[in-house]
Structure 1
């Protein structure tokens, strides 16, 4: 499917809002992305226009967003861009949303401590019998086959 994938670098503008929905966990927050440019007259960097995006995260990404992000933190968001235009109460309204695939702290602007999230227990498909985990250990009293030692190669004779 042809979708517009974007990578936006900016700051968390609102505290993430977490919801448990019938389809699973969902979280959203606003992302502020400000362009920077070199001002030759002042000989310094200056802020340009700021774009705001609503970032949507689902399932485990939503859980991790709620536990990890706070207002003002620098983040990188990758996901599908969705631009909608509507007429509300006589006014035209446009929104730019990012359906996030990945979100992380921007390590060019700070440090972060990664902690792996606990995986939820897998649920068996409805009506399917649970498959036992195979026993990967070598049975007692047997030794695993040892690989042959590497053979020494004699140097080629030079004539």
Structure 2
């Protein structure tokens, strides 16, 4: 099921790569319902729902240099609900396999920097015309901009940290996999 959710980034973005070298990032998203209480004549908070957002390939790489804990965001993607048992207790985890993530501009401003390295796609490709889960356009190895490499290196304890052999100007990333 495709959903779009408004919320706040609740954790720093965690970055790693699969065994095949596919970039992956995730973060926790907190979504608190706000409603107007006519009796109190004031806005009140409802329940907070917690989701894990996972992004792949170019979106994962771009999240590293774009989001910080506390940022208001819109996340669009495929909703997944996982349930399992731990002894007698039942556990549930709600996840979004993100297709698109952006700042909520009703709450602030943002400066856009175009990513480079995608071949076969005109600027803005992948919008409304793309079918969810459809194969992406032909993609060559991307060069990750130096500001993203530095953002990854500056995060302590990250899995899949960029290796010391990163060439000046960026790291080569081959977007293959899930």
Same fold (TM over 0.5): yes
Highest RCO, 1 vs 2 (Cα 8 Å, sep ≥ 6)? 2
Q: Tell me, which stretches of 5 or more residues in structure 1 are unaligned?
A: 124-159
- After superposing the two structures, state which structure 1 stretch, 51-60 or 38-47, moved more: 38-47
Taking only aligned residues, the RMSD between alpha carbons, in angstroms, comes to 1.4
State the match for 1:88 in structure 2.
86
Provide Cα deviations, 1:50-98, integer angstroms capped at 9, x if missing partner.
1110000000000001111001000000000000110024321001000
Structure 2 matches for 1:98-137, cutoff 5 A? 98-119=96-117, 122=140
1:17 to 2, 14, 19: 14
Higher-Rg member (1/2): 1
Q: How many residues align?
A: 120
Q: TM-score, normalised by structure 1?
A: 0.72
Displacement of 1:118: 2.1
- After superposing the two structures, state which structure 1 stretch, 93-102 or 41-50, moved more: 41-50
Q: TM-score, normalised by structure 2?
A: 0.64
Q: Tell me, which stretches of 5 or more residues in structure 2 are unaligned?
A: 120-139, 142-178
- What is the SS of the residue equivalent to 1:66? helix
Take 2:101 and 2:42, find their aligned partners in 1: how far apart are those partners?
30
Displacement of 1:117: 1.3
